[in-house]
Amino acid sequence: MTKKVVLITGTNSGFGYLAAKSCAEEGYTVYATIRDINGRNAEKAQELSEIENINVVELDVTDGNNVVSVVSDVIAKEGQLDVVVNNAGFFGGGLTESYTEDDIEAMFDVNLKGAWRVTKASLPQMRKQNEGLIINISSGLGRFSSPFMTVYNSTKFALEGLTEGLHYEVRPLGVDAVLIQPGAFPTEIFGKTTLGSDMEVASGYGDLAKIPDQIGEGIGQMFEAMKPQPQMVPDAIIKLIETPKGERPLRTVVDAMTGQFIENANEKVKEEYNNFVTAFGLGDLLK
């Protein structure tokens, strides 16, 4: 398997779009998946389809049958599946209490369950190959939960938990499951921010209800001052792909602004986690 086959979800914008282009430039065979390619995402789908090495495919990560069908088609056509980048997701802010049960379900369905559906569909082929890489795009907010973003943070906490355990389960089978923890970058995700639909809640919070807007303004000022480059995330994806299996770190922080904070936490947790796993007689999984 010399030419890697890479499937990336959520390539209509942001990190996914840049990752598809970057992987194609490396000569990988890329399956760039997008929802609604004949509707609101038609222009971006057409743009990507004109790039050498990119195949644009319709995929809705909330539809389990669609996920299985797309992954099966890729494997049938290529005879292999080497890398999956679970990037599809959306951001939500505002008052936690304003989120309804349906709001929470919608976000978990994409950000957590969507990644799991694609992972589950891909693992049998990767185990068969004794070779594979699953990259789940998390967030620095999957390590610490900032107020006024808590439902989104919760989905990333869950994705971190899913990936951390899976990392040790499948590594002995030749498969690496890893996380990228981006910080804040000026991508389209902030322009698509969702809020809780129970808007009446805000009246009970007084001036606290204004804080989410203040946070948004602060992030915008930080972008203007530090100019973080979204291309850093696709570059990290390429680096992980090119790293030999078994040597890839569980977590990769990509954050030029506040990343050291997350790095420090990761290192401390890793040290204690290794002690915990070893104490339960599972130390061989750390090798």
Catalytic positions, please?
152
Written as six digits, the tokens of 137 are 């795009």
Written as six digits, the tokens of 247 are 């040597």
**Dist. CA 37–CA 17, nearest whole Å:** 14
Q: Are 266 and 180 in contact (CB under 8 A)?
A: no
Neighbouring C-beta atoms of residue 170, cutoff 10 Å: 18
Please compute Rg for the chain using Cα positions. Answer: 19
Written as six digits, the tokens of 201 are 């809640």
Residues paired with 78 in a beta bridge: none
User: Residue with structure tokens 């990228």?
Assistant: 180
DSSP code at position 172? G
Q: Are 176 and 133 in contact (CB under 8 A)?
A: yes
**Dist. CA 199–CA 10, nearest whole Å:** 29
DSSP code at position 188? G
**Dist. CA 71–CA 16, nearest whole Å:** 17
Closest-CA residue to 31 (of 63, 74, 67)? 74
Residues paired with 287 in a beta bridge: none
